[in-house]
Amino acid sequence: MTVRARARRLIWTRRAVQTGALLLFLVLVVANRPTSGEGPTGPVSLFFDLDPLALAATWLATRTLAGLALLGLVTLAVTAVLGRWFCGWFCPLGTLHNAVGSLRGGWRRLTPRSEGSSRWQRAKYYLLIALLLMAIGGVHWIGVFDPFSLLYRSLALTVLPACDVALSEVANAVYLGDPQLGPLHLRDLTEPIDRWWQARVAGSELRVFTGAGVILLVFAAALGANLVRNRFWCRYVCPLGALLGFAAVRPLLRLRSRTDACNSCGRCTLRCPAAAQPEKPDQWLATECFGCWNCVAACGNEGLDFRWTLPWRATSRGSVDLGKRRSLAALAAGAVAVALMRITPAAHGKTFHPLLIRPPGARAEREFLQRCIQCGLCLQTCPTGGLQPTWHEAGLEGVWTPMLVPAIGYCEFECHACGQVCPTQAIRPLALAEKKQVRIGLAVIDTSRCLPYAHGRECIVCEEHCPIPDKAITFERRESVQRDASVRTLKFPRVDPDRCTGCGICETKCPFQDVAAIRVTSAGEDRHPANQPLLGGRAGAGTD
């Protein structure tokens, strides 16, 4: 078998592996669909466990590891042998980049004359340096740029809800319109599809997320950039790619070339998605190469091939020169970022945002932010849709981290799935019995809106829905003078702060849909002993 024939066969193998990895990622996203109870039993966090960037940043920020994070070392070990195979063969976001980049052939104006290496490829290394320095300072911003967090967050919070909305709208329109094709009702086709989607993919009623537009724009920009440069994100931005680049300085499998067979046609350069300089025999960039074999297949003279090489042999002088000054500048940028995110009163526990209600099991805010990688797994698995991504509530440091929004959904009493799927244990995996005792906030009644207090009308909705076995909402019977001077005895609700866990169902179910007459804030949460509104605290407060 010729070198080119073997390369073409490997390319098709790579495409099959890439497709399989992307499908596996999608299957795990769907497997994490909302349910009440234990949560998904499968390895929904597999890709995050294999992520050495999440491993490194979490360890630097907390000096601890959780779950199967050490699997990231396997990724680094294989990278040291095969080079950046993870980027070229396994990364699902990289597969999407390849797919979008292949569309450039239809737009000649978008197809560059050269795909050669650029000094801007150093940007991802500077970003990695800054992010790791931030992690050392306790600011875990890796999840904003990590490819797995980016992809999962985008799919779970924007793409799947958009598909859910579209399918629901079409199914409802067909059902109400009841169009017929002869004796066949079109709804007989759409209704089974809609029921299958709800049962196997959506897992609950329609759920949408705040700030989804910004998340979608970031995702669309990352993919759309491939129309300018193939694998744009991987070349210039991806910090995971930069980390793997450091591990692939001298892989055992390296590109070798025969100078006598090269006629400077440039085909290998145009086919290289990583701009790894395959056209320069002594300047090949091992730190950039994805091991895709495109260049080998493109060479008509069979002058290129990957061969096993001893690690101490220097077969190429090619390297990405980061420069001491620029590296120091990246470190300085990371230090400045830490300072800017930590000079707020909230960062030092001086103030507590009333709307920042973290899920049960969330660690104290500082440690929570040191662990959370903004992946969106907990948001995806919440059965009520109450967990939403933050925007400004947790400051810039906590953007896209989870918080409970009772106006949208509540914390299901019989569910602790969010702690079971968190890959870094920013949300502790509590047993269900323990989770039921955790206080994440406190309900407060607004007597200016509550029907019995403000309008003299009977209402017991909040008490009816309270899931606490001995009820955190009780009633006090009082006489109320009506407009016609008659006297009625009404039940006036009161919240028992020693029993309320802040689950938010009372706010979700309140008849006032604009601004509820009973609202939950972060006051009284167990994880913050300082955020206790009652003099002397309350029973059980202050536990972690």
- Distance between start and end Cα atoms, the chain: 64
Pairwise CA distance, residues 147 & 47, whole Å: 10
256 and 292 together in one domain: yes
Q: How confident is the model at residue 518 (pLDDT cuts 50, 70, 90)?
A: very high
pLDDT score of 38 = 62
**Residue 331 covered by a domain:** no
pLDDT score of 514 = 93
Q: How confident is the model at residue 233 (pLDDT cuts 50, 70, 90)?
A: very high
171 and 96 together in one domain: no
> DSSP 3-state assignment of 490?
strand
539 and 437 together in one domain: yes
- Total domains in the fold of the chain: 3
94 and 236 together in one domain: yes
User: What is the DSSP-derived secondary structure letter of residue 119?
Assistant: G
Specify whether the CB–CB gap between 508 and 517 falls below 8 A: no
User: What is the DSSP-derived secondary structure letter of residue 358?
Assistant: P
126 and 13 together in one domain: yes
Q: 518-521 and 442-445 as β-strands: parallel, antiparallel, unpaired?
A: antiparallel
Q: Is the pLDDT of residue 522 over 50?
A: yes
Question: pTM score, two decimals?
Answer: 0.92
199 and 265 together in one domain: no
Determine phi and psi for 383, rounding to 5 degrees: -70, -20
Determine phi and psi for 543, rounding to 5 degrees: -85, 155
pLDDT score of 543 = 43
450 and 533 together in one domain: yes
Beta bridge partners of 474: 494
**Residue 289 covered by a domain:** yes
Q: Mean of the pLDDT values across residues 118-127? A: 93
**Structural domain ending residue among the three candidates 253, 275, 308:** 308
Q: How confident is the model at residue 114 (pLDDT cuts 50, 70, 90)?
A: low
If 0-12 CB within 10 Å is exposed, 13-18 middle and 19+ buried, where does residue 164 land? Answer: buried
Q: Is the pLDDT of residue 487 over 60?
A: yes
Can you give the CATH number for the domain in which 476 is found? 3.30.70.20
Q: Mean of the pLDDT values across residues 90-115? A: 77
198 and 230 together in one domain: no
Per the structure, the complete domain to which residue 160 belongs is given by 152-203
Beta bridge partners of 481: 487
**Residue 534 covered by a domain:** yes
Pairwise CA distance, residues 420 & 386, whole Å: 17
At a CB cut-off of 8 Å and minimum separation 6, what does 2 contact?
302
231 and 117 together in one domain: yes
**Residue 231 covered by a domain:** yes
Pairwise CA distance, residues 367 & 221, whole Å: 31
Determine phi and psi for 481, rounding to 5 degrees: -80, 125
22 and 89 together in one domain: yes
Q: Is the pLDDT of residue 193 over 80?
A: yes
**Residue 525 covered by a domain:** yes
pLDDT tens across 257-270, in order?
887 788 888 888 88
Pairwise CA distance, residues 338 & 130, whole Å: 10
The per-residue DSSP string of 475-540 comes to: EEEEEEE-TTS-EEEEEEEEE-TTT-----HHHHH-S-SSS-SEEEESTT-TT-TT---STT--TT
Q: How confident is the model at residue 111 (pLDDT cuts 50, 70, 90)?
A: low
What's the whole-number average pLDDT of the chain? 90
